Amino acid sequence: MVWDDYFTVLAALYPWCHCTIAPSRGATATFSTRMENTSRRMENTSRRMENTSSTRMENTSRRMENTSRRMENTSSTRMENTSRRMENTSRRMENTSSTRMENTSRRMENTSRRMENTSRRMENTSRRMENTSRRMEKHQ
């Protein structure tokens, strides 16, 4: 009697379910099987939800750690790169400065040498002219 009422209620609640089993033909076994299946499904769903939840938490945690590590690495790398660039720029400026000084000094020395050479040539030319003038006087 109880099973008849139960299946009537089930049929009313779930009209889309066409599983009409007469209580006289193993309804009790079918019902207990349904209950076990439902219970198993609920446990599986619960386990899945727990697993999903913990997995999501773990994944989120891992992602946050990775992001944090990346940000730290990026920050330190940027700092190192900036420092390296500043050192390189400083070295370049020093090198440029010393090179300019050396080049200027070299140019001044070269100019001085050229002036001396020019002066020597002028003296030589003057001496030649004097010699030539003396020779001409002798011949006259």
Q: How confident is the model over 101-120, as a mean pLDDT?
A: 92
Overall domain count for the chain: 1
20 or 81: which leads in pLDDT? 81
Torsion of CA 50, 55, 56, 58, to 10 degrees: 130
Chain-centre distance of CA 125, in angstroms? 73
Is residue 21 within 8 Å of residue 15, measured between CB atoms? no
Is residue 60 within 8 Å of residue 51, measured between CB atoms? no
- C-alpha gyration radius of the chain: 53
> What pLDDT does residue 92 have?
85
pLDDT at 116 over 90: yes
Least confident of 29-33, 48-52, 100-104, 120-124: 29-33
> What pLDDT does residue 112 have?
92
Range of the domain at 94: 3-139
CA distances from 18 to 10, 15, 58 (A): 11, 7, 43
> What pLDDT does residue 27 have?
54
What is the share, in percent, of the chain residues with pLDDT greater than 90?
20
The Cα–Cα gap between 103 and 95 comes to 12
pLDDT band per the 50, 70, 90 thresholds, residue 18: low
- The 10s digit of each residue's pLDDT in 23-63 is 555 555 576 788 888 888 888 888 888 777 777 888 888 88
> What pLDDT does residue 20 have?
53
Least confident of 6-20, 40-54, 63-77, 119-133: 6-20
Which residues, at least 6 apart from 21, have a Cβ–Cβ distance to it below 8 Å? 7, 27, 30
pLDDT at 11 over 60: yes
